[in-house]
Amino acid sequence: MNTGSVASLSSSTAQKQKVTQSPEILGKDDFLKILVAQLSNQDPMKPMQDTEFIGQMAQFSSLEQITNMNSSMNKFFDRQLQSSMTDHAHLIGKSVEWSENNEVASGNVQAVVYKEGKVLAELDNGKQIDISLLERIETEK
């Protein structure tokens, strides 16, 4: 069996992976390329058995479904965090307190911001505080 094509395919795939993802992770495109290379380079006197081919196609299908589910879960998680921002809109116009360097700090919330996966309270002085750090919320003083 000619393995030169498979080796060159593997090296070009590895180069593409360095750009898009960790070299240890194979995606569904890589799996399909390996399967096509395997089929095109098989020994004509000993072709791949139907059961092997069906098994590999089932693995490919499972990989694709898991990848799609992962993408959907990531989108769902991001939307949940963004909706959490609207859940905290009631903080606007309120006076808040939190601990900072073992001292109580305070400020008035002017906006609620979603930044880098976190919901932050933006104060009138421009400082942004993670809402999980807030210890007291009251009507503006």
Summarised one tens digit per residue, pLDDT across range 50-107 is 677 778 778 878 888 888 899 899 888 877 776 777 788 888 999 999 988 888 999 9
**Residue 34 token pair:** 């390996």
Residues 80 and 114 in one domain: no
Please report which confidence band the pLDDT of residue 141 belongs to, taking 50, 70 and 90 as the band edges.
low
Q: How many separate domains does the chain show?
A: 2
Where does a domain end: 44, 60, 84? 84
Instruction: Write out the residue range of the structural domain in which residue 108 sits.
Output: 88-139
The answer to whether residues 109 and 122 touch, using CB atoms and an 8 Å cutoff, is yes
3-state SS record for 99-141: EECCEEEEEEEEEEEEECCEEEEEECCCCEEEHHHEEEEEECC
Tell which wins on pLDDT, 13 or 89.
89
Tell which wins on pLDDT, 96 or 24.
96
Work out the number of other CB atoms within 10 angstroms of the CB of residue 13.
18
| pLDDT reading at 117 higher than 80 | no
Where does a domain end: 64, 84, 104? 84
Residues 70 and 115 in one domain: no
